[in-house]
Structure 1
Amino acid sequence: MVQRTISFVLQKLARLILLLAAIIIISFALASASPIDPIQAYVGADMMRVGPEQRQLIAEHWGLDRPAAERFLQWASSLLHGDLGTSMMYRVPVADVIRERFASSLALMSFSWVLSGLLGFVSGIAAAMNQGKWLDRFIKWYCYTLASTPTFWMGLLLLMVFAVWLGWLPIGLGTPIGVTDEQVTLFDRIRHMILPAMTLSIVGIAPIALHTRQKLIDVLASDYMLFARARGERGFLLLRRHGLRNIALPAVSLHFASFSELFGGAVLAEQVFSYPGLGQATVEAGLRGDVPLLLGIVLFSALFVFIGNLAADALYKLVDPRLRERRVS
């Protein structure tokens, strides 16, 4: 058993190393081929006041005057020593920027991830238990509509309705304007997080609900379900005893696999609401040619998604005991 566990961990670790290496090389190549001039993006509006000598000094300071291969090897060497480099935009270590921005993004993604999972799972069960009825048709229509709805469009719609027309919630940002961090309360942060979290949750319900609905329909049509009905089991009792465990495993798998989609949706949602999270920092780093920050965020997001999938593998054993027996045998 211990040997199997060690082999499993080593296999996952080898996959992680190969994945990160491939992502780093591809991301650096794409960033180097970008048409954005990093010096011009670095200087910004004062570009006309900067002469050739100053441009050369800036390029030498950030290593932009050296070949791309040399810059990559230097960055990779620093990475092996635990240094992600310094952000050209914020003039602080990349690790500090990621740590600060990820705290805001984590709260946003966690709330929307849990909410979309619960609502999607319950909606899928309700649709399957009422197959062919008006509730099932309504849930399917709702899910098919949202499945083709872009995240940014949903964010703009919620912004117009709840922030502009009704005025119930703030238009954007993570905290009120003109207020210091000491004066910002937890209630203020929650109010500013509601609309972007709703955007991610509403869009994320569709795949979970549709997948759960179809899986439960297949389970309800199985032989052991017919036998359970013949014994007099009905309604929620039938679902709890014979259905939940069979549909929970695919739902958990699909929901944890949506980590990458959740992060991608957070990038768009944070841009719409100007929410100061990791997604907004990713867009800014790409548009302003901040290669160290962009590579650091890409590396961190890949690790984040990998950990989510690894957590799903661990939860499989808790949900389905057959996997534990297979491991033991």
Structure 2
Amino acid sequence: MPDTEKIASFAGKKILRLVSLLAVVCFVSFMLIQYSPIDPVRAYIGEMTVSEEHKAKLEEYWGVNTPPQEKFLNWAGNILKGDFGVSLIYRMPVADVIKERAMASFVLMATSWLFSGVLGFILGIVAGMNKGTWIDRAIKTYCYVLAATPTFWLALVLLMVFSVSLGWFPIGLSVPIGVTAENVTFFDRIQHLILPALTLSLLGVAQIAMFTREKLIEVLSSDYVLFAKARGEKGLDLVLRHGIRNVALPAITLQFLGFSELFGGAVLVEQVFSYPGIGQAAVAAGLRSDVPLLLGVVIFSAIFVFCGNLIADTIYEFVDPRIKQQEATV
């Protein structure tokens, strides 16, 4: 099959899968919230006392008495037009809330993703090169402990140690309190970003480190590496020439497949550090019954995770077909 036809077929399948995914996610999420005890009118007015006439208008606006099927079709129709509704908490369009919060979350997740990938890859290489030694055992123990550590617990420990006890970093938020946006410096933003990003990246190290270790051990025991050793190659030079370039791409693919764990971890980290990202908005929407915002975040998260899987699938399909061939022979 020509490359253009293969690419067109691949793109068509992915677009169809995205449309199907969003349709299922929207329907299931909407129905789960619809049959939950959430009352959008009560969530909107809070503790305020309103007249029956005003309450009736709000019920009509939110479609409280509208059949679920009709309400879903109306909501889906608005989504197709780009109208996600109005957030009950922030009193502004959901699309604007997500746009405002998504950038802060993107900076946090991108920093953590890069750091965890690089650190995990290096630790995996070191462990694979020193298989069976105390270095290998130490790295494996470190990874096992990290894999079993709850995200919120590690975030609380780092917060208590480095912010409360030592005072090295701010306790929370993404900028200093009481400082206008134009007076916030780049250093201020970095200082507020370090602990949340460190928490999220440390937890992402384990998976990539253990995967890289196993792949490197497999590569170093292959026939062509044994032949290279017979030619006199050894040590770090052997790993650099034959090991890293054979394990790097599968490791990157796995890192992209971890977008769902990255997003889930960011939700907890943002809540602990009061970091104003999309994760904190999702928690606030759930706790305060902000249905439009909650549904908007669900759609955003589905697209975010799909993009990570799409990049991984693209590498899997086009960049290095050996990954596909290796799995087929297992």
Q: Is the Cα contact below 8 Å between 1:42 and 1:288 reproduced in 2?
A: no
- Partners of 2:107 and 2:149 in 1: CA distance: 24
Matches within 5 A, 1:2-21: 2-21=4-23
Amino acid corresponding to residue 30 of structure 1 in structure 2: L
**Distance change >3 Å, CA 110–CA 188, structure 1 → 2:** same
**Distance change >3 Å, CA 88–CA 118, structure 1 → 2:** same
Instruction: Could you tell me which runs of 5 or more consecutive residues in structure 1 were left unpaired when the two chains were aligned.
Output: none
Question: Could you list the per-position Cα deviations for residues 254-290 of structure 1 after superposition, in whole angstroms to 9, with x for gaps in the alignment?
Answer: 1001001100000000000110000011111112222
Aligned to 2:207: 207
Residue 32 of structure 1: which of 27, 31, 34 is its match? Answer: 34
Aligned to 1:278: 278
- Partners of 2:132 and 2:105 in 1: CA distance: 39
Aligned to 1:310: 310
Determine whether 1:301 maps to 2:268. Answer: no
Aligned to 2:196: 196
Question: Could you list the per-position Cα deviations for residues 93-118 of structure 1 after superposition, in whole angstroms to 9, with x for gaps in the alignment?
Answer: 11111110001000000000000000
- Partners of 1:297 and 1:268 in 2: CA distance: 15
Report the Cα offset of residue 323 of structure 1: 7.5
Amino acid corresponding to residue 10 of structure 2 in structure 1: F
Specify the SS of the correspondent of 2:46: helix
Aligned to 2:291: 291
Aligned to 2:115: 115
Determine whether 1:90 maps to 2:90. Answer: yes
Moved more, 170-179 or 237-246: 237-246
Specify the SS of the correspondent of 1:275: coil
Q: Is the Cα contact below 8 Å between 2:259 and 2:308 reproduced in 1?
A: yes
Report the Cα offset of residue 12 of structure 1: 0.8
Matches within 5 A, 1:213-224: 213-224=213-224
Report the Cα offset of residue 315 of structure 1: 3.4
- Partners of 1:274 and 1:10 in 2: CA distance: 40
Amino acid corresponding to residue 257 of structure 1 in structure 2: L
Report the Cα offset of residue 121 of structure 1: 0.4
Specify the SS of the correspondent of 2:88: coil
Report the Cα offset of residue 37 of structure 1: 2.6
Q: Is the Cα contact below 8 Å between 1:108 and 1:196 reproduced in 2?
A: yes
Aligned to 2:328: none
- Partners of 2:324 and 2:133 in 1: CA distance: 39
- Partners of 2:189 and 2:67 in 1: CA distance: 44
Amino acid corresponding to residue 43 of structure 1 in structure 2: I
Amino acid corresponding to residue 29 of structure 2 in structure 1: S
Specify the SS of the correspondent of 1:83: coil
Aligned residue-pair number: 323
Moved more, 281-290 or 37-46: 37-46
Specify the SS of the correspondent of 2:279: helix
Aligned to 1:45: 47
Q: Is the Cα contact below 8 Å between 2:41 and 2:62 reproduced in 1?
A: no
Q: Is the Cα contact below 8 Å between 1:245 and 1:319 reproduced in 2?
A: no
Moved more, 68-77 or 202-211: 68-77
Q: Is the Cα contact below 8 Å between 2:105 and 2:277 reproduced in 1?
A: yes
- Partners of 2:181 and 2:254 in 1: CA distance: 38
Moved more, 235-244 or 158-167: 235-244
Determine whether 1:22 maps to 2:24. Answer: yes
- Partners of 1:40 and 1:311 in 2: CA distance: 42
Question: Could you list the per-position Cα deviations for residues 151-176 of structure 1 after superposition, in whole angstroms to 9, with x for gaps in the alignment?
Answer: 10010000001001100000001111
Instruction: Could you tell me which runs of 5 or more consecutive residues in structure 2 were left unpaired when the two chains were aligned.
Output: 326-330
Aligned to 1:229: 229
Sequence identity of aligned pairs in percent? Answer: 60
Report the Cα offset of residue 193 of structure 1: 1.1
- Partners of 2:38 and 2:320 in 1: CA distance: 50
TM-score of the superposition, structure 1-length normalised? 0.93
Amino acid corresponding to residue 312 of structure 1 in structure 2: A
Q: Is the Cα contact below 8 Å between 1:249 and 1:316 reproduced in 2?
A: no
TM-score of the superposition, structure 2-length normalised? 0.93
- Partners of 1:318 and 1:170 in 2: CA distance: 44
Amino acid corresponding to residue 42 of structure 2 in structure 1: Q
- Partners of 2:69 and 2:290 in 1: CA distance: 17
- Partners of 1:259 and 1:78 in 2: CA distance: 28
User: What's the C-alpha RMSD, in Å, of the aligned pairs?
Assistant: 1.8
Question: Could you list the per-position Cα deviations for residues 15-66 of structure 1 after superposition, in whole angstroms to 9, with x for gaps in the alignment?
Answer: 11111111111111111122233222222233xx335443323222222332
